Structure 1
Amino acid sequence: MINRGSLTCQVDEQTIEQWHCHEHHGRRDRGFQYSDSAIQTALMLKSFFGLPLQALEGVINSIFQLMDVPLTSSGYSCIYK
């Protein structure tokens, strides 16, 4: 029963490599810093946990820090756009 509250996350090397956008995709705004999959991942976590955007940014950064992964979350305004 105790392990039901456990949160386990894995990030593979391919995900780390694809987190940042490396090419111009023809759209404006985001500054091409984060990939579409990074934004979609953030939005899935937002929906799953029911978080506001500012709290979502903190949660994602906290998860990456705990996992010792060299990534950061996009800003909440970037996710909003």
Structure 2
Amino acid sequence: MKDVPSPLSDTALVPARVVRAELGGISDMTLWRWLHRPDLEFPEPVLISRRRYWRRQDLETWKRSRFAPRARQKQQGEP
């Protein structure tokens, strides 16, 4: 099955394999660890027939919250 990028809509569901690829090709074990680390605040999946899916909006919100502060620091000339 060919991996097709998910549409950027609020209701789009993204399967675990696509989530892992979008986050730099992380392993399933890394994804599991992130889900079990409360300090990371990684979004909870939706389970459908024992398969994990994430809401596109939740993933995008999490990425902005995790990566935005560093981008702002670099723009302001901070280390």
Work out which structure has the larger RCO, using CA pairs closer than 8 Å and 6 or more positions apart in sequence.
2
Query: TM-score surpassing 0.5?
Result: no
Higher strand fraction: Structure 1 or Structure 2? 2
